[in-house]
Amino acid sequence: MEKEKNGYWSGLLSGLLLAVLLLGCLYVGKQVYGIYEAKQIANGKEQSELLSDYTTAKIKVIEDTIDKYYLTGTDLATMENGLYSGMVSALGDPYSVYYSAQELEEIQQKTEGIYYGIGAYISKGAMDEFCTISGIIKNTPAEEAGLRAGDIIYEVDGVLAQGMETTEIVTLIKGEEGTTVTLTLIREGESDYLNIPVERRKIESPTVEWEMKENKIGYIQITEFDDVTTDQFAEALAECRGKEMTGLILDLRGNPGGNLSTVCEIARMLLPKGLIVYTEDKYGEREEYTCDGNHQIDVPMVVLVNGYSASASEILAGAIQDYGVGTIMGTTTFGKGIVQRIISLSDGSAVKLTVSKYYTPNGNDIHEKGIVPDIEIEFDTEGYYVDKTDNQLENAIQYFSGENVKKAE
């Protein structure tokens, strides 16, 4: 009797296991058949149609599988954005990005020069895992909180920033006026992470600052090439000329770039007649940006650059170097010689794609090479944060007086 009972339970258990296995096989078979069916339907169609049918079916299978098995549930909008972002990311180009409608609006606000944030410029190298603070706007929460150029952003409000693009980091940092964001930073010379809370406020980007240095040397700093920058630079240059400047220091250090149209307008206030820059797309089509030479700079000029001077900054520095109307001083620039274009989509989102390469007037391709300064001087970071001594700027001033330029040891 006991033997029969054991046989009964053993048979029942075997039957249940077989049923589970059969159901599993049926489910997997259904998913596989769904993909197979898409392939069969697409037979005889053009390659683009085949890809569309197959891809649509596979996306549906993956969506169903996630919905059935994923532990914490799903958010369809997030999954859709991830799909679109993944398509662009698959290009392997760190400068090509998908923007949701909200992200696009934030980008447009930024290029206008007005936003709600902390007042720090953020950049990221093509091979970097984390974004870096490349500059601090004066009289902003970032300066008040003690943030520094060169600080690496490890976390934003506890969210790990590894692998994020600058647009994603900016979205996390920006927010409602009066609220606080906490940045976890890696700083050279510090043995542990720094957790620094920073208040968000309305930031009207002063992309241009100027002052007169000793011996009537004009100093103009451009921190970014936004819509507001052209008029700000024109005003600063007029002020310096009105004070009878005998030389000009143009500071592009930490400038990550910006609008191509803006940098060309500024170049037309400095360069002789001729090319400013030209671009070539995948079809070999060339577009030239030129200067009439009516406002060429008529005093000696030094242009300060560093490893964070990128894109539009390199267009301006490269043209000045090619024409010989200024001396480039500092360290080799970032090396971003490609142009991106934002293409809006009908639902309010957009894709930013690399569409062409740019070349300096002499035909130099500086992508991933940078512009090598005429006079190389490393920035003395420690000296600056001890007593605010800017050794690169001091050497630029000395250059006009004919004194020997001193490199940082």
DSSP structure string for 214-257: GGGEEEEEE--B-TTHHHHHHHHHHHHHHTT-SEEEEE-TT---
* Catalytic site residue from 124, 336, 356, 392: 336
Terminal C-alpha separation, the chain: 95
Cα three-residue angle 155-160-163, rounded to 5 degrees:
110
* E strands in 2-119: 97-99, 114-117
Q: Dihedral of CA 313/319/322/328: which sign? A: negative
Q: In angstroms, rounded to a whole number, what is the distance separating the alpha carbons of residues 208 and 114?
A: 14
d(CA 53, CA 39): 8
Q: Which of 263, 268, 166 is nearest to 222 (CA)?
A: 263
Catalytic residue among 340, 352, 356, 392: 340
State how beta strands 217-222 and 247-251 pair.
Answer: parallel
Query: Catalytic annotation on 340?
Result: yes
CB atoms inside a 10 Å sphere around CB 326: 23
Q: How far is Cα 151 from Cα 135, in angstroms, rounded to an integer?
A: 10
DSSP 186: E
Catalytic residue (one of 205, 311, 313, 356): 311
Report residue 39 as tokens: 């392939």
Is 14 one of the catalytic residues? no
Distances (CA, A) of 235 to 12, 113, 121, 209, 220: 89, 17, 23, 10, 11
Question: In the annotation, is 45 catalytic?
Answer: no
Active site residues: 311, 336, 340
